[in-house]
Structure 1
Amino acid sequence: MALIERVELLMVDLKPKVKRVDAIQSFVSQETPIVRIYDADGTVGTGYSYTIGTGGHAVMSLLERTLAPALIGREAYDVEKIWRDLLFLTHATSVGAITSIALAAIDTALWDLKARKLGLPLHKLAGGAQDAIPLYTTEGGWLHLELEALVEDAVTAKARGFSGCKLKIGRPLHEDVARISAVRDAVGPGFEIFTDANQAFTVDEAIRRARAYEVLDIGWLEEPLPADDIAGHTRLVGHTSIPVAIGESIYSHLHFREYLERHACSIVQVDVGRIGGITPWLKVAHLAECFNVTVAPHFLMELHVSLCAAVPNARWVEYIPQLDSITSQGMTIHDGKAVPSDAPGLGIAWDFDAIEGLTVDGSRSSVS
């Protein structure tokens, strides 16, 4: 047992390696808050979260002014208690994206610290349910790409042993159908094709499009509607045989409960960086298991590989390289599957020299 003595904060801004465009936005910047928590024994836990280009400085201010000071003198092993105390401390701004992103950076650091002190990898500490998770790729399916590029990327992914790919949708319906059809013709029936609308449709439009997509045997229809339209999702699920995936834009575990209770989704895509950390991520995953629903988390593959391996109902890891420029070793892939690290902690090999060089001016602070 050792008390928390110091918290270091900084933020790096990572530029995507490829152009990323979906039905509602372009992803041009990844602000990445990083938290390092030091305990009295000298153990250090490192955590992080992310934005897609806005709000990072607000997250850092909340961390520096409110959350990090509340950690000093706390027992680092009390991860659940700390998470709940910090959630209550910020109740006036919860549920909200800025608060959840800030909480995620702290909570992941606490889990990393605990795992390092115990000498355990995260996937064992959090459950130890699976050894490897199938991968699907998103990086070659962006909406701005021409049809030939979509086909080439899907064929390459299949050759690498991946089990599926994701295509962004939101072009005119006949174009979406043509793009999905071309990929299906190229990869054959044994390769999953997922689609992602990024909340672009109305309910009626989603129902119409789902009818057209059904004959193409797609694996799921992701974020077809705004994330707060649970009734709309319930209506859509009742009108299509396509699994409906939700979760990347949900910031509270309680909202997942509402989706599951109302049978408004078929796939849960809980994102550890947006839900508030590992602590609530595990709650959502186990809740989904109780409803016999699969988990296929959004983004953050370097962290989600360990969390997916921790629970029995995780089916997919989304392949989008995110941390290559600030890590010394990437995620292990074997036969098209993501394999969690057996190193103590989160399993992320941080390159702190690289992080130092990419730290955003004015974002560094220390609380003790």
Structure 2
Amino acid sequence: MQNTTRIIANPLAAGLAPGEATTDRIAWVKLSLVFLPLAAPISDAKVLTGRQKPLTEIAFLFAEIETEQGHSGIGYSYSKRAGGPGQFAHAKEIAGELIGEDPNDIARIWDKLVWAGASVGRSGLSTQAIAAFDIALWDLKAKRAKLPLAKLLGAHRDSVRCYNTSGGYLSMPIEEVKERVSMALEKGIGAIKLKVGQPDPMVDLARIEAVRKHIGDVPLAIDANQQWDRTTALRFGRIAEQFSLTWIEEPLDAYDYEGHAALAKELATPIATGEMLTSVDEHYELIRHNSVDFIQPDAPRVGGITPFLKILALADHKKLQLAPHYCMEIHLHLTAAYGREPWVEHFEWSEAMFNEKLHVVNGRMIVPNRPGLGFSLSDQARAWTRATHEAGKRP
């Protein structure tokens, strides 16, 4: 008698068939590629080392989702200098995968989308495209619950400490930096971040000293944008300890986990990095190597809110401080739900993109009392749109 083995496929591989708990389905998805122009080109250390050109515009990938029952959500990803059209192209390829899905199954949808394009990788540009969908689904979920996203996640606070970066670039002379710093503080912003990484480190030290004298005891951080080697970072960090910096950001290459760990061990000033990493696994390596005091994940870069929450769980377990990169409209809600007092980064660049404004009072950004993420696209953003794509049929 011949022995045969019957192989039964695991139904969880593609998600269980919808049951009675499924009460709504995604009907329509719209993608928009929007280019936000900056008022003037800006430069950080990557420009001074010749690795990048000055930044003149930012590409945004917006995803708008609507369901059969009329619920809606909006999310975005972004790219600087290059990659925006690539994100749009990948999102366009996989947008149809959302049609007919239960919008509540956010984690399963994320897995479905990442495997739909797995041949180009499960991090980087592919997951940055997925981020726009994922963030839109979380926005939809919170709107359906009639709660700000922070409250849906379980907020620890209704406001978050905020710092400003957009006035501290290397392309600005020190007098302009001080003027912009004063404007930020007058708006109620609670801290300042200054770009460093000049070819002559003494120029950086002079700029730090000038800003420190200008702002007094206001918290001050610096950001080298990955352009130092280990020796320069260690020497500079020791000299800079006199300025009582809140952190030194990206002193080394983003993937130099061991180098960052050595700096974190040697310097009194906390080390911050993580913004350029594009997956949970890469952030886990930072955490595992004890590379950071402040971890700086970027929700659109890591693939959305779903993977971002996994990073927060890992960071909280290691008792790390949190200061996400950019995207204040999204990160305000996520930092409000972190157990340890965090920071959120303030940029006024994107304010023209949205109808709603975020408010800062006494150094803290206020979580808005609006459902979901609490923003909608402005007419200006629509005018800056260069390409759109739709999947499904709007209900």
Scaled to the shorter chain, the TM-score interval is over 0.9
- Please tell me the residue identity of whatever aligns with 2:207: R
Aligned partners of 2:239 and 2:353: how far apart in 1?
42
Aligned partners of 1:95 and 1:210: how far apart in 2?
35
**Matched residue of 1:29: which SS?**
strand
Do the aligned partners of 2:139 and 2:372 also contact (CA within 8 Å) in 1? yes
Aligned partners of 2:102 and 2:209: how far apart in 1?
55
- Please tell me the residue identity of whatever aligns with 1:191: V
Aligned partners of 1:162 and 1:346: how far apart in 2?
21
Match of 2:382 among 312, 332, 356: 356
Aligned pair 1:365/2:389, yes or no? yes
Do the aligned partners of 1:4 and 1:39 also contact (CA within 8 Å) in 2? yes
* 1:114 Cα deviation from its structure 2 partner: 1.1
Which residue is equivalent to 1:50? 78
Q: How does 1:148-227 map to 2 (within 5 A)?
A: 148-171=175-198, 172-188=200-216, 190-227=217-254
Match of 2:172 among 138, 141, 145: 145
Q: How does 1:6-45 map to 2 (within 5 A)?
A: 6-25=28-47, 26-45=54-73
Aligned partners of 1:94 and 1:225: how far apart in 2?
25
Once the two structures are superposed, what CA deviation does each residue of 1:66-96 show, in whole Å capped at 9, x if it has no partner? x211111111000111112222333332343
Q: Which moved more, 1:150-159 or 1:303-312?
A: 150-159
- Please tell me the residue identity of whatever aligns with 1:356: R
Once the two structures are superposed, what CA deviation does each residue of 1:285-327 show, in whole Å capped at 9, x if it has no partner? 2221111111111111122111111222251111112332221
Aligned partners of 2:69 and 2:39: how far apart in 1?
39
**Matched residue of 1:303: which SS?**
helix
Q: How does 1:1-368 map to 2 (within 5 A)?
A: 1-25=23-47, 26-65=54-93, 67-171=94-198, 172-188=200-216, 190-351=217-378, 353-360=379-386, 363-368=387-392
**Of the two, which has the highest radius of gyration?**
2
Aligned partners of 1:322 and 1:300: how far apart in 2?
10
Do the aligned partners of 2:188 and 2:360 also contact (CA within 8 Å) in 1? no
* 1:130 Cα deviation from its structure 2 partner: 0.9
Give unpaired runs (5+ residues) of structure 1.
Answer: none
Q: TM-score, normalised by structure 2?
A: 0.88
- List, as ranges, runs of 4+ consecutive aligned residues in structure 1 with deviation greater than 6 Å: none
- Please tell me the residue identity of whatever aligns with 2:46: I
Once the two structures are superposed, what CA deviation does each residue of 1:214-273 show, in whole Å capped at 9, x if it has no partner? 112111110111111112212222221111101110101121111111111110111111
Distance 1:96 1:28, change over 3 A: farther
The number of equivalent residue pairs is 363
Q: Which moved more, 1:111-120 or 1:157-166?
A: 157-166
Aligned partners of 1:314 and 1:252: how far apart in 2?
23
Distance 1:159 1:282, change over 3 A: same
Q: TM-score, normalised by structure 1?
A: 0.94
Which residue is equivalent to 2:6? none
- Identity fraction in percent: 33
